[in-house]
Amino acid sequence: MHSGADIKEFGGQMSGPPLIPMIHAIEAASKPVVAAIEGIALGGGLELALGCHYRIAHSKARVGLPEVTLGLLPGAGGSQRLPRLIGVPAALDLITTGRHVTAAEALKFGLVDQITDHNTVNVAVKFAQRVADQPLDARRISTYPCLCPSDVAVLFEEVMQRVRRTARGAIAPIACVQAVRAAATLPYNQGMERERELMATLFTSGQARALQYFFFAQRAVGRWSMPSGARWDTSKPRPVHKAAVIGLGTMGRGITVALAQAGFSVVAVETQEKQLMEAKQAISGMLERGAKRRGVAPALDKINYGRNIQSVADVDLVIEAVFEDMALKKKVFQQLSAVCKPSTFLCSNTSGLDIDQLACQTRNPELVVGMHFFAPAHVMKLLEVVYGPKSSPLAVATAMQLGKKIGKVSVAVGNCRGFVGNRMLKPYLEQALFLLEEGATPEFVDQVLEEFGFAMGVFRMSDLSGLDVGWKVRMADGLAMPDPTTGQPTRLRQGRRYSPLGDLLCEQGRFGQKTGRGWYQYDKPGSQVAKPDPWLHSFLDEYRARHALVAHRIDHQEVLERCLYSMINEGFRILEDGIAAGPEDIDVIYVFGYSWPRHHGGPMFYAATVGLNKVLERLEHYYQAHPDVPSLQPCHLLRKLVASGSPPIQKWREVIKKVRSQL
């Protein structure tokens, strides 16, 4: 069996899936047709198998209907046949999630009739010979009654509520539920017509285009390049057999777990005895829980713990994960350079500090790169691999390969403050604060962003992460301080508008969920149920009065445009600076690392969808109103793209190359 339709064909005009008449002909055949499934049978491949009278799968085969992940639904009868074969609950699970299942699970569902460890085709041929004379009426799935539980109406209501909640604005999962409901309530032919109607709507939707763009973007980031001309296909990685993690806080623990679960031998170092014991217990728990979910033995024996940095002398690669302090990290890199083999790769898990400064502390700066994991590091898929001017293609290739082996989506980016993800996050957060100063409330801003599709709005996320984290960074940067003249917080810092709202909350001990108060109030410290806080609303009124700020009505459009377009504008600056090679890199980083809704494709694809001329016009409008906010000033690359006729996103690299050559 083949894996399904070529996704490259989805961009054309829908003329009806060519599989449908073929599947109907197979099902209507007078002789038994047996599907032999090897490898993977996804999408149209599985729908073709469902038209056969019997299905034999190799034990290592995997099957599924992943169309929902591309903004579509199974459009060749899959939504109608599958619930008739395996029942409505199981079909809803597979179709609305798009997940792949093993042959063993497929057999348990009744999706396949037999699994084998031998030659699948030979087994299928012998099976066909045995059933050659048996009647086929009972084997044509389209004639089956739909297998519905007695409370099927309640089931559909519950599933629809869950899907609406988790889809975060995506329409394909909802259409999938509607298609399966048609199978449960309509005759087969009418159900097929409903499937076709739903498919036609999805096929032409912007969401389907966004999801299909992202499908290719996710694969494109593996074909990385550097400004030096080094590329993925000319840079061979060096094998890593033994790795080390320095610092076993939250990030170090997650990185250790990710490495051990992938089969690497790991030396885990924490210099403080108490922290080491706590980390060891936490890591063991994470490994045991993960192994239980996957049905395997926990990789506890892959980790050796130590308090002495000398214990990493023989490793192939080190990931430093100590506290985000440059002086401390420099000291660690000096020690590592003295202790490790000359060939050892030295990597930092910094979220935005200068990789070049760390590389300068070592004997071999060409072997230094950043490996920016996202918390929790053993769960989150994104990894930013950060190269500086001295980083070798060998080091980048090795870090990218390691990321792949531990299950990460790795994106190679250049070195700057905040790299790609956190650099773009800054204007997004900045605008959210300015909106509060001008009349919005945290819950309104969050509501708009969550309705757009973010898992959490900016203020709920800030409460979860802890307001004190950013406060410490701003204090170190000389931003979080009172006005020395009046003793009151000023709204300008370093020549540009600055909002001290977060600093003022931190000064009162309002750090978010951990203290039970932040932008929201919570029933108790540690609670995750955010509630609007009347105290905060009064605080904002007093703040506006103190600074003579006149609140105005802020609508959904202004929230989205100021938060998203300022972020997008920074994305164009990043492309202009050569920090990211192309828009796909930025979009993959934001979907996997910052919960950008996948059905909007990523911030740069979203800009292309909205229209670059509109993004430019609205940025100019807001910059004119707020000339002390540089992040609202449209960047040169955006203007150049609009002047070039707003080419499709696939053509942006040509314009980017010209702009960079002129800098």
* CATH code: domain of residue 355: 3.40.50.720
Question: What is residue 69's DSSP assignment?
Answer: G
Domain match, 199 and 62 both: yes
Q: At what angle do helices 421-437 and 534-546 cross, to 10 degrees?
A: 80
Q: Is residue 527 part of a domain?
A: yes
Strand, helix or coil for residue 345: strand
Domain match, 510 and 562 both: no
Domain match, 75 and 173 both: yes
Domain match, 301 and 383 both: yes
Domain match, 102 and 194 both: yes
CB 652 within 8 A of CB 580: no
The residues facing 305 across adjacent strands are 268
Q: Is residue 263 part of a domain?
A: yes
CB 184 within 8 A of CB 149: no
47 part of the active site: yes
Determine the Cα–Cα distance for residues 299 and 285; give it in Å rounded to an integer. Answer: 11
Q: Is residue 425 part of a domain?
A: no
**CB neighbours (10 Å) of residue 20?**
18
Domain match, 531 and 581 both: no
Q: Which of 143, 177, 204 is the last residue of a domain?
A: 204
Domain match, 263 and 389 both: yes
Q: Is residue 70 part of a domain?
A: yes
Q: Which residues, given as ranges, of the chain have pLDDT below 70?
A: 1-17, 482-490, 663
Q: Which of 481, 514, 546 is the last residue of a domain?
A: 546
What's at 13, amino acid-wise? Q
Domain match, 394 and 328 both: yes
Phi and psi (nearest 5°) for 75? Answer: -105, 10
* CATH code: domain of residue 598: 1.10.1040.10
**CB neighbours (10 Å) of residue 485?**
7
Q: Is residue 132 part of a domain?
A: yes
Q: Is residue 2 part of a domain?
A: no
Q: Is residue 424 part of a domain?
A: no
Check residue 4 and give its pLDDT: 54
CB 559 within 8 A of CB 449: yes
Check residue 494 and give its pLDDT: 79
Distance of CA 475 to the CA centre of its chain: 30
Q: Which of 71, 34, 67 is nearest to 49 (CA)?
A: 34
Q: What is the pLDDT of residues 487-544, one digit of tens each?
A: 555 677 878 899 999 999 999 999 999 999 999 999 999 999 999 999 999 999 999 9
* CATH code: domain of residue 184: 3.90.226.10
CB 383 within 8 A of CB 222: no
Catalytic annotation, pick one of 9, 27, 38, 47: 47
What's at 604, amino acid-wise? M
Domain match, 166 and 18 both: yes
Q: Is residue 237 part of a domain?
A: no
- Helix H, strand E, coil C: the string for 93-119 is HHHHHCCCEEHHHHHHHCCCCEEECCC
CB 628 within 8 A of CB 541: no
Check residue 11 and give its pLDDT: 45
Domain match, 100 and 142 both: yes
Check residue 440 and give its pLDDT: 98
Domain count, the chain: 4
Boundaries of domain holding 395:
242-419
Domain match, 165 and 276 both: no
Check residue 411 and give its pLDDT: 99
Q: What is the pLDDT of residues 343-367, one digit of tens each?
A: 999 999 999 999 999 999 999 999 9
Catalytic annotation, pick one of 67, 320, 570, 576: 67
Domain match, 170 and 248 both: no
450 part of the active site: no
Give the pTM.
Answer: 0.92
Check residue 243 and give its pLDDT: 98
CA dihedral sign, ordered 654, 655, 656, 658 = positive
Q: Which of 509, 526, 546 is the last residue of a domain?
A: 546
CB 510 within 8 A of CB 530: no
Determine the Cα–Cα distance for residues 381 and 595; give it in Å rounded to an integer. Answer: 11
Burial of 24: CB neighbours in 10 Å, binned 0-12, 13-18, 19+ = middle
Tell me the Cα Rg of the chain.
28
